């Protein structure tokens, strides 16, 4: 298996779409909001956190399910984080057709990029991944990085 090159992308003001607002989607939404993107969440249901962020104007929540053809061609990034593997695969396929970068949380083989564990302090950003293989290992490494970054 090949390793993915870590690429840091300026998301400021760019359109990012997250499909799903459950536990995984919410974690990723909270991480993305740190980077100034225009975040749209598509999900029939959402966590209290996502609902609150929507009410505060931090993101747009469209209370609906994914429909084929609805992903805008100008999306910078798309995350498929629904709790339905088939829906995530459909989102991934639509993104590939439109040549959009996509992360499919339920199947690493369908990902153009892995969503990293993050350690952020001001302008210092560190990301870590275990190649989509060992999420616990990546989480432990991210926690250690966060502790280190806080000391700087």
Quick one: CA torsion of 49, 79, 90, 83, rounded to 10 degrees?
-40
pLDDT of residue 51: 98
Mean pLDDT for the stretch of residues 41-66: 98
Q: Per-residue pLDDT tens for 23-34?
A: 999 999 999 999
- C-alpha–C-alpha distance, residues 114 and 128, integer Å: 9
Residues 10, 37, 49, 123, CA torsion sign:
positive
Beta-sheet strands, E only, within the chain? 15-19, 38-42, 60-62, 77-80, 101-104, 117-121, 124-128
Q: Per-residue pLDDT tens for 63-81?
A: 999 999 999 999 999 999 9
Q: Per-residue pLDDT tens for 116-146?
A: 888 888 888 888 887 767 778 888 988 898 8
Single pTM value for the model: 0.90
Confidence band, pLDDT 50/70/90 cuts, at residue 152 = confident
Asked whether the beta carbons of 60 and 40 are under 8 A apart, the reply is: yes
């Amino acid at each position: 298996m090949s390793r993915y090159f870590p690429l840091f992308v300026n998301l400021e003001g760019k359109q990012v779409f997250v499909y799903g607002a459950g536990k995984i989607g919410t974690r990723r939404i909270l991480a993305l909001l740190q980077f100034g993107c225009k975040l749209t969440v598509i999900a029939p249901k959402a966590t209290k956190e996502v609902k609150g962020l929507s009410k505060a104007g931090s993101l747009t929540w469209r209370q609906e399910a994914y429909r084929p053809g609805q992903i805008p061609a100008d999306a910078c990034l798309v995350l498929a984080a629904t709790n339905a593997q088939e829906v995530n695969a459909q989102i991934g396929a639509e993104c590939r057709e439109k040549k959009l970068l996509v992360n499919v949380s339920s199947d690493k083989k369908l990902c153009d990029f892995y969503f990293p564990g993050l350690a952020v302090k001001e302008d210092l950003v560190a990301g870590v991944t275990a190649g989509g293989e060992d999420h616990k290992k990546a989480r432990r490494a991210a926690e250690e990085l966060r502790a280190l970054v806080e000391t700087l």
